[in-house]
Structure formats: C-alpha cells, structure tokens
C-alpha cells in the first residue's frame, strides 16, 4: 500500500492510542513487523503544547519508522496550523482524528463528533491538505450512531479533499467500544472510493486479520488493543497472511527481553516517576492472565526502577527453573 511517497512494506499498521502508542511502543511494533505506527493524538490547540505530554508526543528523535503524527481538533485554521508545526517538527504524514469518542475530545466537537457535521469535516480536510506538502490521512468511525452510519459519505468527502488514505474503525461513535466491530460498512466504503482504505477494530488474531482483509477487500489493517502487551502480534499476523500457518507462541526468553527493554525505554523517556507508572500499565498487559494477578498486584506497589526490573527478572527466572 502506498501513502503519498511512502510504500508500506506490508498491510499492518499500529492504531494511534493515546497513552499507549508512545515512541517506545511504536518502535517495538515496527521492529516486530508493523509497516507503520501512528502517533498518539496531539491537540490542535497551541495553548496545551507547552506541556511535557505534548512535547514528548511532538518529538520524533529516535523514531524507527515512518513518522505519522495524529492531530485532533475542530477548527480548520487551528488544525492547519497544527499540521504545519508538526511537519516542521519532522512529521512525514499528518493523520486527522475523527474517530475518537472520548468526552474530553468530543466536548470541543472534535474526534468522532465531527461525523455529524460533514460541512465542518470538509472545511477541516481542505484546510489541512492545503497547508502541508506531506500526505494527509484521516481516521473515522463508521458514523455517529448505528442509525446514522454515514461513513461512505464522509469517505467520499475525504477522497474529494485529497486525503491520501482512510482508516475506519468498525463502530459508530455512540457504540464507544461496546459490541463487536462490524465490517460491512468498511467494505461499502472500500467499494465507493479509490484511495487506500484501512480496516480497524477488534483485529486480535491472525485468523481475524485474514477474515477482515478477505471480507472487506481493504488495502491494510490497523491494530490497536490487540498489540497491547503483544507487540509480536505483527510478526504472527504477517506469518499467517504469508503462509496460512500459525507461529508458535512467543518464547519466554524473548518476552523477558522485550519487556525489560520496553521498561528501560519508558524510564528513559518519562523519567522515574512517570516511567514507573507507565510500566505498570504495560506490564499489566504483558502478564494479563488470571494466574498472574498476584504478580500484578505486587508489581503495582513497587516505587523504584530497580525493584520493578528485578521483579520482572525474578518472574522469568522462576519460570525458567520450573
Ligand atoms: C487507550 C486507547 C487510546 C486511543 N487513542 C486514540 C487516539 O489518540 N486517536 C485515535 O484516532 N484513536 C484512538 N483510539 C482508538 C484506536 O485507534 C482504535 O480505533 C480502537 O481501539 C479500535 O481498534 P482495536 O480494536 O484494534 O483496538 C484509542 C483506543 C484506545 C483503547
């Protein structure tokens, strides 16, 4: 699949997830075979850029893959300005968020709330596309409510405005994350536009990836929660797509190395206090089985980098001895 000048090496993309797809996580997923990882969303409101959170999200030093930066907002001028600033900071692709149902984002009528207002959608897309020379991509939901699945209409607007590719989460805004993602609307979108379409939502196994590709005919897949604590899912899915066979589960030695490296990168990026808190979240995903609950409870009480790392080491040492 091609986005502007960028030829993706396969059909697997990491979904933007605020608080999850920071640079350490994006780099890991790209190393495990994802063709591209979209950054966490950045508000288009410049008043909030002078915070650690925004500064960290805007920095691309050490990024392994294509730098796709997502922006969120409702004002065409602010969005265009945010796009320009992020391109100056190194973004190679600007992604526009019209998929997020979060109240914080929707209060300002941004994210998926915009789907109710196609005129505003068009104004934002035109302004951003005109403002930057890099490809502009868009992420939407299928509509704003099950009885208002206007994804095809929005997709046509996107194509007319010069959007380079369109990612579609197979739920409406009203669905939040409830129920199952549906792929019929995504299939209809794919059939109605000629820019690349990326299917998203509930793709958590290699078999599901195969099914969604076949059912919708899309150009690529976007994977979010399925990669939390499992960055190797991209290797597993790609192998299955290539061969029809499933890889053996990831070895414990490999999981140990990845977790420790991931923790180290979190401490480096966020410093000890915040790094420890982010580490709890990711370790909770890596070791999410019921029998690992006592481990998680104890790990979440640890307050130093050394204690966190040695607890993970001990956990894998014990497994290796048994
Ligand atoms: C914790 C979290 C944060 C998210 N943040 C964003 C975001 O910043 N921008 C966005 O477009 N979507 C965001 N999403 C939505 C995901 O990109 C994706 O559309 C959704 O999770 C469905 O895909 P999945 O089933 O593969 O997770 C977020 C989802 C989660 C779970």
**Per-residue pLDDT tens digits for 75-90:** 999 999 999 999 999 9
Q: According to the model, what pLDDT value does residue 62 have?
A: 80
Cβ-in-10-Å burial (0-12, 13-18, 19+) of 196 comes to buried
Structure tokens belonging to residue 90 = 């190194």
Structural domain boundaries in the chain: 2-243, 252-321
DSSP 259-293: HHHHHHHHHHHHHHHHHHHHHHHHHHHHT-SGGGH
Residue among 12, 13, 15, 177 to mutate when testing ligand 1 (max atoms within 8 A of CB): 15
C-alpha distances in Å from residue 103, one per residue of 37, 84, 107, 176, 309: 24, 26, 6, 10, 35
Q: What is the pTM of this model?
A: 0.96
Q: How far is the CA of 23 from the centre of ligand 1 (A)?
A: 16
Atom 28 of ligand 1: nearest residue by CA position: 17
User: What confidence tens digit (pLDDT) does each residue in 19-71 have?
Assistant: 999 999 999 999 999 999 999 999 999 998 988 888 888 878 788 889 999 99
Q: According to the model, what pLDDT value does residue 281 have?
A: 98
How far apart, in whole angstroms, are the C-alpha atoms of residue 213 and residue 196?
13
| Residue 110 pLDDT exceeds 80 | no
- Within 6 A (CB) of ligand 1 lie 15-20, 40-41, 70, 97, 99-100, 139, 169, 200-203, 223-226
Q: Tell me the average pLDDT of the chain.
A: 95
Task: Name every residue whose Cβ is closer than 8 Å to that of residue 227 and which is 6 or more positions away in sequence.
Answer: 14, 15, 25, 29, 34, 233, 234
pLDDT band, residue 16 (cuts 50/70/90): very high
CATH code of the domain occupying 2-243: 3.20.20.70
Q: How far is the CA of 291 from the centre of ligand 1 (A)?
A: 27
User: What confidence tens digit (pLDDT) does each residue in 177-226 have?
Assistant: 999 999 999 999 999 999 999 999 999 999 999 999 999 999 999 999 99
Q: How far is the CA of 17 from the centre of ligand 1 (A)?
A: 5
Nearest-atom index, ligand 1, CA of 40: 8
User: What confidence tens digit (pLDDT) does each residue in 261-275 have?
Assistant: 999 999 999 999 999
Q: According to the model, what pLDDT value does residue 319 have?
A: 92
pLDDT band, residue 104 (cuts 50/70/90): low
Q: How far is the CA of 224 from the centre of ligand 1 (A)?
A: 6
Residues with catalytic function: 100
Residue among 13, 14, 17 to mutate when testing ligand 1 (max atoms within 8 A of CB): 17
Q: According to the model, what pLDDT value does residue 41 have?
A: 92
């Amino acid at each position: 699949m091609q986005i502007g000048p960028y030829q993706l090496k396969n059909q697997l993309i990491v979904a933007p997830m605020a608080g999850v797809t920071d640079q350490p996580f994006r780099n890991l997923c790209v190393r495990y075979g994802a063709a591209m990882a979209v950054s966490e969303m950045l508000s288009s409101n410049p008043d909030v850029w002078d915070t650690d959170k925004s500064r960290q999200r805007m920095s691309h030093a050490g990024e392994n893959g294509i730098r796709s930066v997502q922006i969120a907002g409702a004002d065409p001028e602010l969005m265009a300005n945010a796009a320009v600033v992020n391109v100056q900071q190194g973004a190679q692709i600007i992604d526009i968020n019209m998929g997020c149902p979060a109240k914080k984002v929707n209060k300002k009528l941004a994210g998926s709330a915009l789907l109710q207002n196609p005129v505003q959608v068009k104004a934002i897309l035109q302004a951003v596309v005109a403002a930057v020379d890099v490809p502009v991509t868009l992420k939407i939901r299928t509509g704003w409510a099950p009885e208002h699945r206007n994804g095809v209409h929005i997709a046509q607007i996107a194509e007319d405005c010069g959007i380079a590719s369109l990612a579609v989460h197979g739920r409406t805004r009203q669905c939040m994350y409830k129920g199952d993602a549906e792929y019929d609307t995504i299939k209809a979108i794919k059939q109605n536009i000629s820019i690349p379409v990326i299917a998203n939502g509930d793709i958590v196994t290699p078999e599901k990836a195969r099914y969604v590709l076949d059912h919708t005919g899309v150009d690529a897949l976007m994977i979010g929660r399925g990669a939390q604590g499992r960055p190797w899912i991209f290797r597993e899915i790609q192998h299955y797509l290539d061969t029809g066979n499933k890889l053996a589960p990831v070895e414990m030695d490999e999981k140990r190395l990845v977790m420790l490296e991931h923790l180290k990168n979190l401490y480096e990026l966020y410093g000890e206090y915040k790094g420890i808190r982010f580490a709890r979240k990711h370790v909770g995903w890596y070791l999410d089985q019921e029998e690992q609950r006592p481990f998680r409870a104890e790990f979440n009480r640890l307050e130093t980098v050394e204690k966190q790392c040695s607890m993970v080491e001990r956990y894998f040492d014990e497994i290796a001895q048994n």
